[in-house]
């Protein structure tokens, strides 16, 4: 019986040797804009990259010490609603091209409230100065004209040094600093509009008066003045309502969470609730709702009350998640700072207890009290030395 042509071709076909399946290598490239407006690019060759791996590289490039990294984070534009979101550092970065994060920016996540020191916090001062300058230009800090001019003169002194008539002619501020870091105030960030020429003259005169001020001193003066401004370190979230349907604003800061009504300029007005972080038992989101369990300074009900707020719109759940994330970041830092302060106080008290008597100065006209425990410890030390 004859074999068909098709069958013969199948029998005569040689089996090709199997090749090992090689998984394609994923190259993840990220572009990060730093606070001084410079750009940092990096590439990962891995199937899975955690967010903190990218964050550590960015901090090394920006020369942010480990002890200061708790104040910073990475932001990206969420493609779902076009708003800025914080990158979750403990989760893997997306590997699919459709979800690939290409551009991010380094930003201050929580602003320090302690008084910064000139010689210990130089790098933190510089980064904070750039972040605050960006906040002012975008209207997140509202200042009178005179404070705008003072801050710009400090910024010019820190970046350009002493005023030089040969190099610093008309228009030198915008020419050397760029429009990103120098622009005249407007109604967006001030209570008064002023012409460019008049404002530049104000800043130039103040810049001349900063002669011999060092870069570090100028940066410290800039940050100190910003810390005294109302609204420093506050993150404001808009678009939510309370149980009564009133439009409210979430104001998140280092000390706690405030809920207020917006005024005529859509800025925080009448205060409805004020939660310090040690009085917040829990805060969570479920879809577009936020539940805050805690004790408000303005509450007259039960000790612990559950307050419900809601965002509206198709992407309200994303806004709720962002509020909870900001609250948890601020609450964690507040508790970490309080713990460190307690440890410092405990260490200082132990130093006072264990300080040798020879280093203490006796009080005039008063005999030092005799400590039986100290005498016993001294006898034990002498006895141990004698047996060596």
pLDDT tens profile 215-250: 999 999 999 999 999 999 999 999 999 999 999 999
Answer positive or negative: Cα dihedral of 138, 141, 147, 152.
negative
Average pLDDT score over residue span 146-152: 96
Kindly report, residue by residue over 80-125, the tens digit of the pLDDT.
Answer: 999 999 999 999 887 655 555 579 999 999 998 888 887 788 889 9
Residue with tokens 């300074």: 297
Least reliable range by pLDDT among 48-57, 120-129, 378-387 = 378-387
Q: What is the mean pLDDT of residues 34-38?
A: 94
**Average model confidence (pLDDT) for the chain?**
84
Which residues, at least 6 apart from 315, have a Cβ–Cβ distance to it below 8 Å?
A: 80, 81, 83
Would you kindly state where each structural domain of the chain is located, as residue ranges?
A: 28-108, 118-228, 234-333
> What is the pLDDT at residue 304?
81
How many residues would you count in the chain? 388
State the fold for domain 118-228: Acyl-CoA Binding Protein (1.20.80)
- More reliable by pLDDT, 24 or 102: 102
| CATH number, domain 234-333, options 1.10.3720.10, 2.30.29.30, 3.30.1300.10, 3.40.50.10490 | 2.30.29.30
28-108 topology per CATH: Ubiquitin-like (UB roll) (3.10.20)
Quote the pTM value: 0.79
Per-residue pLDDT, 198: 95
pLDDT at 116: 85
Q: How far is CA 195 from CA 36, 79, 133, 171, 203, in A?
A: 26, 38, 20, 13, 13
β-bridge pairing 103-108 and 27-33: parallel
Q: Is 90 exceeded by the pLDDT of residue 330?
A: yes
Model confidence over 253-301: pLDDT tens digits? Answer: 999 999 999 998 889 999 999 999 999 999 999 999 999 999 988 766 6
């Amino acid at each position: 019986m004859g074999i068909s042509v098709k069958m013969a071709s199948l029998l005569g076909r040689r089996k090709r040797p199997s090749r090992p399946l090689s998984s394609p290598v994923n190259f993840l490239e990220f572009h990060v804009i730093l606070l001084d407006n410079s750009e940092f690019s990096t590439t990962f060759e891995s199937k899975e990259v955690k967010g903190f791996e990218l964050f550590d590289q960015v901090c090394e490039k920006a020369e942010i010490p480990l002890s200061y990294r708790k104040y910073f984070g990475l932001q990206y534009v969420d493609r779902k609603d076009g708003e800025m979101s914080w990158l979750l550092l403990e989760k893997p970065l997306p590997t699919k091209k459709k979800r690939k994060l290409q551009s991010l920016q380094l930003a201050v996540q929580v602003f320090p409230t302690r008084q910064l020191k000139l010689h210990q916090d130089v790098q933190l001062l510089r980064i904070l100065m750039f972040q605050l300058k960006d906040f002012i230009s975008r209207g997140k800090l509202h200042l009178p004209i005179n404070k705008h001019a003072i801050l710009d003169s400090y910024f010019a002194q820190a970046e350009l040094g002493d005023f030089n008539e040969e190099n610093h002619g008309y228009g030198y501020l915008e020419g050397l600093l760029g429009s990103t870091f120098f622009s005249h105030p407007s109604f967006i960030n001030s209570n008064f509009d002023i012409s460019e020429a008049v404002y530049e003259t104000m800043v130039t005169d103040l810049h001349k008066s900063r002669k011999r001020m060092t870069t570090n001193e100028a940066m410290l003066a800039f940050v100190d003045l910003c810390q005294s401004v109302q609204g420093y370190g506050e993150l404001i979230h808009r678009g939510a309502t309370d149980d009564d349907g009133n439009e409210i604003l979430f104001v998140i800061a280092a000390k706690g969470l405030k809920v207020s009504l917006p005024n005529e300029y859509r800025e925080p007005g009448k205060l409805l609730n004020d939660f310090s972080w040690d009085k917040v038992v829990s805060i969570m989101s479920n879809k577009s709702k936020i539940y805050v369990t805690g004790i408000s300074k303005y509450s007259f009900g039960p000790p612990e009350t559950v307050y419900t707020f809601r965002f509206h719109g198709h992407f309200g759940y994303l806004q709720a998640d962002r509020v909870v994330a900001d609250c948890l970041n601020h609450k964690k830092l507040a508790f970490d700072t309080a713990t460190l302060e307690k440890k410092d106080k405990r260490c200082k008290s132990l130093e006072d207890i264990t300080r040798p008597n020879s280093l203490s100065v006796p009080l005039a006209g008063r005999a030092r009290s005799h400590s039986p425990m100290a005498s016993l410890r001294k006898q034990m030390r002498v006895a141990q030395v004698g047996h060596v």
